[in-house]
Amino acid sequence: MFKQLEQKIKKKSAIVGVIGLGYVGLPLATGFGDEGFKVIGIDISKKKVDLVNSGKSDIDDVSGKQVFDLVKNKKLKATTNFASLKQIDCVCLCVPTPLSKSKDPDVSFILNAIEQVKKYLHPGQLVVLESTTYPGTTDELILPILETTGLKVGKDFFLAFSPERVDPGNPRYKIKNTPRVVGGITPLCTEIAKLFYEQIIVEVIPMSSTKSAEMVKLLENTFRGVNIGLVNEVALMCDRLKIDVWEIIDAASSKPFGFMKFYPGPGLGGHCIPIDPHYLSWKLKSLNYYARFIELAGDINSHMPEYVTERIARVLNERKKSLKSAEILVLGAAYKKDVSDVRESPALDVMRLLEQREAKVSYNDPYVLEVSMNGYTLKSRRLTSKLLKKADCVVILTDHKSYDYFWIVKNSKLIFDARNATKDVKVGRKKIVKL
């Protein structure tokens, strides 16, 4: 089975299946398609499937032309029918792994996908989980399900974990030039999975086990979450000390060793950094270990929207204006600059908190045309000098590059800048208050 699959992969005759065509799955599917593989994308959303089959993309990092060309050349097709797994040689699971309200891992999407894979599992098939999850998921949860078929891992089929490393909106690092780690249940599983990813990725790093590969992704995002928590707390300290946190960070980063620059902000957003550390924390609790750094950083980061709201209220109050009934214009609803992704966006949390304080909130975001707010839909306003001048406070929550910050400052009465987006604006500094 190994030799047969190895030859198929090397000859690019292996059919690749991607379950989940979101921010992770669609770039992966198009990546393999661009390298000459036939790819079948499977998604439970008919709307998503129809979009892909019509040659369109709803993912920032995948162009419509790329999808259109692959569909036209019959290198990519999408379906809601899991029976397509019968003909697939290598299947990648790219499904969501959210947290429950109690911060426990929700692996229901993984389990639902694996049940479908089990139905159509056949000899010579490679199954790879890419969804971020807690250490032990692949060998403790997925393997027993697949082996109920009577097929043996490492002999009849191959099972591995390779965490996605997508950074939406990053112009430099894409799938091809971002190194991958991969860990299999057996050495042969690791070897065949490594060969598979080497077809589209420059560097693939083999791990000793699936559990080690799962831990790598959690370390990466916990590292970021904890360090962002640190600089957010430093921002709170600097507020009380009446000094500029941005100046402090820039000066500290001049040291050529022993310091890595992180910036504070209105909170954490995206699907990974606010969520992944809790997977590790949850797993360690089952082993009677309390992950103190993770819990503390999570507490600080999760309360940043409240701090930002309070700062805005204070800034207005200092200018003899109440937050209640104040006209607040928010710039940026996406969780990071130059993307349309609003998952876990702290900007939405700040907007909700401002509304709860009875402020009149409107927003502009060139990438996000509408958002769900407190039970209704709020649409992005066209950014004009009139809109800026009308606002009692313009709040910058996402620092999109397309914004003309000189023009924004010129036409605004007051700006609260949570991202240091106005750092290069020299005129009108008295209007600007920074996080």
Quote the CA–CA distance of 297 and 259 in Å, as a whole number. Answer: 18
- Asked about 393 being catalytic, the answer comes back as no
- Could you give the CA distance from residue 381 to residue 392 in angstroms, rounded to a whole number? 16
Indicate which residue of 90, 92, 238, 272 is catalytic.
Answer: 272
Active site residues: 272
